Amino acid sequence: GQWQSIIAAGGQKMDFDAQDSSADADGRGYNLTIGGSYRFAENWRTGVFAGAYRQNLEAGPRDSDYKLNSYIATAFLQYYYAN
């Protein structure tokens, strides 16, 4: 069999202070995804993946702050047919 793995990470920074149409706010987000798959036969592969994402938004002193944590996990079984 053959193993394949993935690790992916990312981030973002948001600045709403420069926009006239919204409240002053700053935000940050981070994500991490890990997973792998195993080809156990010529046409078959199975695997699992998991990910986490965190986002924060800090608004002005009289506005709300926002925090979101998201998680996802999945497993799969794939059959590949080629002519």
Q: Which of 67, 60, 64, 1 is nearest to 36 (CA)?
A: 1
Q: Which of 78, 74, 76 is nearest to 33 (CA)?
A: 74
0.85 exceeded by pTM: no
* Number of separate domains in the chain: 1
Q: Which of 36, 40, 43, 46 is nearest to 1 (CA)?
A: 40
Whether 38 contacts 45, CB under 8 Å: yes
Res 14: pLDDT: 87
Domain that holds residue 13: 2-79
Instruction: Report how far residue 79's alpha carbon sits from residue 25's, in angstroms, rounded to the nearest whole number.
Output: 47
Res 18: pLDDT: 65
Helix or strand (DSSP H, E) at 28: strand 25-41
38-74 pLDDT, tens digit per residue, is 999 999 999 999 999 999 998 877 778 899 999 999 9
